[in-house]
Amino acid sequence: MCNMTFEEPCGENASERMDSVARALEDVLLAALPQGCITVGVYEAAKSLNVDPDNVVLCLLATDEEDVQDVALQIHFTLIQAFCCENDINILRVNNTRRLAEILGGAKPGGEPMDLHCVLVTNPQSSTWKDPALSKLNRFCRDSRCLDQWVPVIHLPER
């Protein structure tokens, strides 16, 4: 059941709602990071999805403008999206990889930059994750699907 009205997808309420969803995404990432519930990288995400898709609660596909022309990356995204849809995993597109890098710490140990094109958020090993920010993201994804937006785009604002 969808709770959005026709007026909500545009105008001031939509802008406020998108800001709220972006904040919720940031909160989820900041909460998941110290728990070790983040998988970063297209290949690492594909391996994780193959091993335990039931443990994944959110998939982020991140691009900047120059990535739009990367055909190989777009093929990877298509395959990951199909897998996530088949396994009822919520998917969001994020358009600001620089901000995503700031949130996630930006580099692997040793200073090597992370591949932030795909980020998975998983449940902690000990329990199912109950987080109000995650619930907000799940509602947003569900409501977006009702509007035929299967992979909604989130604009992470600069801080």
Task: Say which residues have a Cβ less than 8 Å from residue 154's Cβ, sequence separation at least 6.
Answer: 18, 21, 22, 25, 92, 93, 94, 95
Task: Say which residues have a Cβ less than 8 Å from residue 29's Cβ, sequence separation at least 6.
Answer: 38, 100, 103, 104, 119, 121
| pLDDT reported for residue 5 | 42
Q: pLDDT digit string (tens) for 66-120?
A: 888 889 999 999 999 999 999 999 999 998 888 999 999 876 666 677 889 999 9
Pairing between β-strand 118-122 and β-strand 153-154 as defined by DSSP bridges: unpaired
* For residue 39, pLDDT beyond 70: yes
Cα 96 to Cα 153: distance, rounded to the nearest angstrom = 10
Say if CB 92 and CB 60 are below 8 A apart. Answer: yes
Cα 100 to Cα 141: distance, rounded to the nearest angstrom = 19
| pLDDT reported for residue 120 | 97
Nearest-Å Rg of the Cα atoms of the chain is 15
Query: How confident is the model over 154-158, as a mean pLDDT?
Result: 84
Complete DSSP assignment for 58-78: EEEEE--GGGGG-HHHHHHHH
Cα 151 to Cα 159: distance, rounded to the nearest angstrom = 24
Tell me the pLDDT band of 7, cut-offs 50, 70 and 90. very low
